[in-house]
Structure 1
Amino acid sequence: MGQLASKVIRKANRFNVENRAHRVLEREKPTPAPKFDSNLRDMERTLELDPKFVDKLNAKDATLDSRLKDVYVTSQDRFIKRVQERQAAEAAADTKEERVLPKDRKTPEDFEYGYLEPTRVTPGRCTLRQALQFINDHQLDPESWPVNKIANEYKLKEPHVENILHYFKTFNVYIPDQKYKDTLLTQAKQQFIENKSDSSK
């Protein structure tokens, strides 16, 4: 229903468009758009200052007209020349022999931490390698590597270093003692046997 209505409205708007356009163009002067009050006040002020302002606007200024006639534009078609040069270069590149493929087709080795480390570190920041280093140093010997020493050496803020050391730790490998493991196993066996004997009674 909506499509049908829009088609009818469109046809009604376009009916006799050409004749209506000719009628508008044949009018002596189109009706000017209404002006704002502020614009009218500005026009009144300019007329008070210069009563011949409207005559100056409507009169043709010969000096401005002569200056306008002196202005001219020249074109050298540089864009077209550039396009032609580019097309010629592409055609010449097509005719050249194909480039030799590289001999070494191995994939490049991955970086140690999965990304290329920066060579220069801005103050207030540290690389992953540096962070792991001072976390490890602090874990191994917290007295010789306190927070203020780490902050001074790596140019970091002390609260940031405290948070890093509090929330991040390096992995430690714990190898249990074999004797302790054996004692735990024997204790577990004894408990299992006792529980089994109690349940059978």
Structure 2
Amino acid sequence: MGGRIARLFRNFNLENRVFRELSKEKPTAAPRHAVPEPPLPGSDVSESVRQKNEPLHELLRSVYVESTDPAATAEALKEAPEALQSERRPTRVHIPGYAYGLTNVPKGKLTIAEAVKALGSHQHQPQTWTPEKIAQEYFLDFKDTKAALEFFVPFKVEIIPPKTRTANQIKAS
């Protein structure tokens, strides 16, 4: 009921109020910001640009640039793939549907799948898959292999018991 009364007062004499507002004099817009004129070709600005700046000229003289013959670098690039082939090894793990198509990996490096397989093999059969054998199999450095096997343990879950008996515990199902 209150909405009807409020709407009646709000819409009372609406057309007359609209015409009165529209017939009022419109306020003038604020003046635009003055934009400076671009310099003419014969003005002082273009002359100052053309003048030689001695301190900058001295700084440019102090710059020394060395360049090499591009033909020599092109020959080195042609020989590079042959040198890299001896440094590469085929992958040991086949990943079905692998999008990037890695067929060989640099010596001393592992793919993620190879790393997971090597770490898992060592975890399940430490007598068979020793750090020496893994380093030899994947062409790795023995020290790095030993450190990786010591510090990266995949798929090991440790449940730490709570300090108090009232704390929530994970129930084995």
TM-score in same-fold range (> 0.5): no
Give the TM-score, by structure 2 length. Answer: 0.34
> Which structure is higher in helix share?
1
Give the TM-score, by structure 1 length. Answer: 0.30
Q: Which has the larger radius of gyration?
A: 1
